[in-house]
């Protein structure tokens, strides 16, 4: 039986996709073997990766002057790979809006004179810094943002305006494919798969072609975007099973009507949870200011933290899992990615209302 999984990542995947994976697991398309057991150079798998890329291009409207790379090492590896590939002996600007962009900034400091262009840490990451608060370097090699902070529940709906010629680099790990994004506004987008795409171990990088010539000479080949692009993400063996599964998720999203339809569903789901928080009279609290509240990750605290354990125990009884908040912020966190159904969100809201009515 499948329960409602609110884990921040690895996270829930669409049940119908997992059923298809199960049905195809031992014998993929009559080949008498699993997709996992096939050569990555064979026609079958190259068909799978080509279709996954084509479907992702369709879904996101990726312009033809961007490469799509299917890489390994997760988003954390990109924290290092980005400066290796893009810093080009210069400086880069980082905006810190939560734990993940802070980690990206700290990692980049190992590679050069990277600048903190703005931070909302003094406000407890309750908002995104305003344009006036940013100190942007017009000579920066790039401007890095995390457009959805998975731990602090902060989502960027308005992008900062980078100085002319400074490419925007975005960690979209926890909200890629949750709504339409204008890819042409970015120089590079990256996202670990295990939040909204597929299994951990795969990371997707979408990079504008003119940025592929700036890697420092010591960049290892498997970490060099240009080398990986020249080799169709197959300089070495790619994470084949993850790419296959991601491809099925892309097809599922297209079948749902594309990212406009996905966004409508996500807006409705997030509204249910935030409404429950607001209507609780302070029993539950989300610290993020309204315009920056994430549709994917909703952290909330109980006014009385002594009730946390009871809340989680009742959640478990109702088959709701993964609600314990990140250790750095405490309380609860409901991650309501694309694959979380509205039934799951309603079950959570029922628990929240019922629990508050009894314990308030």
**Which stretches of the chain bind ligand PLP, using CB under 6 A?**
9, 74-76, 100, 146, 150, 171, 173-174, 192, 195
- Pick the closer one to ligand PLP by CB: 270 or 352: 270
Can you say how many angstroms the Cα of residue 209 is from the centroid of all Cα atoms in its chain?
Answer: 22
Nearest distance, CB of residue 206 and ligand PLP, angstroms: 15
Q: What is the DSSP string of 144-186?
A: EEESEETTTTEE-SS-----TT--EEEE-TTTTTSS---GGG-
Nearest distance, CB of residue 81 and ligand PLP, angstroms: 11
- Pick the closer one to ligand PLP by CB: 72 or 216: 72
- Pick the closer one to ligand PLP by CB: 74 or 330: 74
Catalytic residue among 55, 93, 171, 252: 171
Nearest distance, CB of residue 61 and ligand PLP, angstroms: 22
Tokens of 4: 């409602």
CA separation for the pair 205, 226 (Å, rounded): 12
The CA angle 178-297-51, to the nearest 5 degrees, is 30
The CA angle 117-121-125, to the nearest 5 degrees, is 110
Report which secondary-structure segment, H or E, holds 335.
Answer: strand 332-335
Nearest distance, CB of residue 107 and ligand PLP, angstroms: 11
Catalytic residue among 55, 67, 93, 100: 100
Catalytic residue among 67, 93, 102, 195: 195
Tell me whether residue 100 is one of the annotated catalytic residues: yes
> Sign of torsion, CA 79 80 86 87?
positive
- Pick the closer one to ligand PLP by CB: 144 or 195: 195
Tell me the catalytic residues.
Answer: 100, 171, 195
């Amino acid at each position: 039986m499948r329960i409602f999984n609110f884990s921040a990542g690895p996270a829930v995947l669409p049940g119908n996709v997992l059923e298809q994976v199960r049905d195809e697991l031992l014998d993929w398309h009559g080949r008498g073997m699993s997709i996992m057991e096939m050569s990555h150079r064979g026609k079958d798998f190259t068909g799978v990766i080509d279709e996954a890329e084509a479907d992702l291009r369709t879904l996101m409207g990726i312009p033809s002057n961007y490469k799509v790379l299917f890489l390994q090492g997760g988003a954390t590896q990109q924290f290092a790979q980005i400066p290796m590939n893009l810093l080009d002996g210069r400086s880069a600007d980082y905006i810190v809006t939560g734990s993940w962009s802070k980690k990206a900034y700290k990692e980049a400091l190992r590679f050069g004179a990277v600048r903190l262009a703005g931070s909302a840490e003094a406000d407890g990451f309750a908002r995104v810094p305003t344009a006036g608060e940013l100190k942007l370097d017009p000579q920066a090699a790039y401007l890095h943002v995390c457009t959805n902070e998975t731990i602090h529940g902060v989502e960027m709906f308005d992008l900062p305006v980078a100085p002319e010629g400074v490419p925007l680099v975005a960690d979209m790990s926890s909200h890629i494919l949750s709504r339409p994004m204008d890819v042409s506004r970015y120089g590079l987008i990256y996202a670990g798969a295990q939040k909204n795409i597929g299994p951990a171990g795969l990371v997707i990088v979408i990079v504008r072609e003119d940025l592929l010539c700036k890697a420092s000479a010591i960049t290892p080949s498997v970490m060099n975007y240009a080398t990986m692009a020249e080799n169709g993400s197959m300089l070495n063996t790619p994470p084949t099973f993850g790419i296959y599964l991601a491809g099925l998720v892309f097809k599922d999203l297209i079948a749902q009507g594309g990212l406009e339809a996905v966004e409508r569903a996500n807006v409705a789901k997030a509204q249910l949870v935030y409404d429950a928080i607001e209507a609780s009279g302070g029993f539950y609290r989300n610290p993020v200011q309204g315009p920056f509240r994430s549709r994917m990750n909703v952290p909330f605290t109980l006014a009385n933290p002594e009730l946390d354990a009871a809340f989680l125990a009742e959640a478990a009884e109702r088959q709701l899992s993964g609600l314990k908040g990140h250790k750095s912020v405490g309380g609860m966190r409901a991650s309501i990615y694309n694959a979380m159904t509205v039934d799951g969100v309603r079950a959570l809201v029922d628990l929240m209302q019922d629990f508050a009515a009894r314990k308030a």
